[in-house]
Amino acid sequence: MTKRRKRSEARGREPNGPVERDLADYEVLLAVCGGIAAYKSAAVVSKLVQRGAGVSVAMTRAGQRFVTPLTFQTLSGRRVSTDLWEAEETWDPQHLSLTERADLILVAPATANIIGKMAGGLADDLVSSLLLAAAGPILLAPAMNTRMWENPIVQDNLRKLEEHGVRFVPPGEGWLACRTVGSGRMAEPEEIVAIVEALLKKRPPRRLAR
């Protein structure tokens, strides 16, 4: 067996073939906040959908400035939620049904702003409301300027959230949008998907457990 074939099978796919749909029946709710790293979130959606997961996307107003809802709608095959009060086929002004069916909520990029809102229990827009009403595990993929990431207030907020069971994909170091090199760069899509997979597979999909 060639090394290339071994690597392909180790990643759960046939050589030159489709990705194994090992995440079928799982539901992920992705919250996209404002940051240039939002482009990586599009790759995360693509990888999860290819593996069979259902992905719903909610975006903050700032997040929509970096990547359009149409991009995520195309990749997920689902309507993207952007407004706390937008009309639904069934009246759900807070969109809380999105959290009820999600096996995992992923926030990527998770900005200092949304981390602060979560730590303070604030819910003043769609994404922060969904996170406060979360009915399952939450995974944050922080992304921000190095000085913001190292700010003691941000670190205190992260510790507080961790005490309440929120999990994190640690940011890496590298070239940042502010044209400096340092920590705060959002983890790569492959790393995020690997942690999402590990968390999902700890329990059966909600839709099958009902």
Catalytic site positions:
178
* Euclidean distance between CA atoms 78 and 64, whole angstroms: 16
Q: Number of C-alpha atoms within 13 angstroms, CB side, residue 186? A: 31
The pair of structure tokens assigned to 42 is 């599009």
Contacts of 117 (CB under 8 A, 6+ apart): 123, 124, 128, 131
Q: Are 44 and 72 in contact (CB under 8 A)?
A: no
